Amino acid sequence: MKKLRLAVLFGGCSTEYPVSLQSAGAVLTHLDREKYELYPLGITRQGRWLLYTGPLEALSGDSWLEDPRFLCPAVLSPDRNTHGILVLDPAGIRTIAIDAAFPVLHGKNGEDGTVQGLLELAGIPTVGCGVRASALCMDKDLAHRLAALAGVEVPASALFRAGDSWEELPRRTGALRYPLFVKPARAGSSFGVSRVANPSGLEEAVRAALEHDSKVLMEEAVPGFEVGCAILGTRGLTVGQVDEIELKQGFFDYTEKYQLLTAQIHMPARISAARAEAVKRAARKVYWALECTGFARVDLFLTPDGRVVFNEVNTIPGFTGHSRYPNMMRGIGLEFGPLLDRLIQLAVEV
């Protein structure tokens, strides 16, 4: 059987660079070398692109850049005739044709449609969401607007942009009930997010969010707890088990997401079958409304009175062996290796 030639993109100019290395290491480790010819294509924090041929264990510790023997400058070519990678060898430029690409890139410059646009220009099938869905899901404001139009409840909110008058802040949030969550509209993994208990802390929180994005979303806190729903598919959808985040204190910020110092993830969620089905219905609506393809994790809130409220969509969620998305799929019997096969198959079939 002919092997499928797959580029796996990792790293990136994002605050989530370290998580991407862990996810990519897990993906590359679990891909069957009998089925795939793999080309790990790393992007440094500074934006340099390198074909990496070294040991996979060097990814998780971020030591992959230390040995130049395993590194060669390389880029994805937007030229459809190349349909792959340009390797900038000292002896000259050579090309590697690829069949598909798997961007294992979290946050800005990877999950927001930028890399997906390059791959679309090149005519290279891409694992996961395309340009439009990636951009929409990264923008929490636009995602909330479309989810609401699809009939899914969203938190009450207001917007503030860089350059707006600070005198506008009290007026825009006047109808909102505290506490508020103040967050960059287009940043991932809770960077720049603050919980504000009263108006006195609002301006400081907005200034902190503006360090990560020029557009800030200020939304009412939703009572209850957060649940997640893993979805796989482009036409017919496969939905994983619903999981639940139990917080002991604060909110699910970057540290808690990746270190779980006080938070716990319960999979499956400790909710009734009827409520789990309501979560899945809402997640499917959001997935379709935002035109997702391939896979995504839809995060929502479940209130004490049983309402399902949309939070956000991660189009490239964490992909380590213990990450939420693979665990939710494992809950319906789809293990990590076969899950990766399904994701890649969806990309090349389109």
Residues 297-325 have pLDDT tens digits of: 999 999 999 999 999 999 999 998 789 99
Tokens representing residue 203 in the block: 């301006």
Bridge-based pairing of strands 194-196 and 71-76 is: unpaired
Tokens representing residue 102 in the block: 């798997």
What is the model's pLDDT at position 251?
Answer: 52
Please indicate whether residue 134 or residue 107 has the higher confidence score (pLDDT).
134
Examine the pLDDT at 252 and tell me if it is beyond 70: no
What is the model's pLDDT at position 1?
Answer: 73
pLDDT in tens, 142-190: 999 999 999 999 999 999 999 999 999 999 999 999 999 999 999 876 7
The catalytic residues are 16, 189, 258, 297, 299, 312, 314, 318
Examine the pLDDT at 277 and tell me if it is beyond 50: yes
What is the model's pLDDT at position 256?
Answer: 46
Domain 136-153+223-349, CATH class in plain words: alpha beta
Residue 57 dihedral angles phi and psi, to the nearest 5°:
-65, -15
Cα gap 10→327, rounded to integer Å? 21
CATH topology of domain 157-220: Dna Ligase; domain 1 (3.30.1490)
Pick the CATH number of 4-126 from 1.20.1250.20, 2.60.40.420, 3.40.980.10, 3.40.50.20: 3.40.50.20
| Secondary structure in 3-state letters for 247-301 | CCCCCCCHHHHHHCCCCEEECCCCCCHHHHHHHHHHHHHHHHHCCCCCEEEEEEE
Q: Where in the chain is the domain with CATH 3.30.470.20?
A: 136-153+223-349
What is the model's pLDDT at position 221?
Answer: 97
Mean pLDDT of the chain: 94
Q: In what order do the strands lie in the sheet with 36-43?
A: 92-97, 84-89, 71-76, 49-52, 36-43, 4-11, 100-103
What pTM does this model have?
A: 0.93
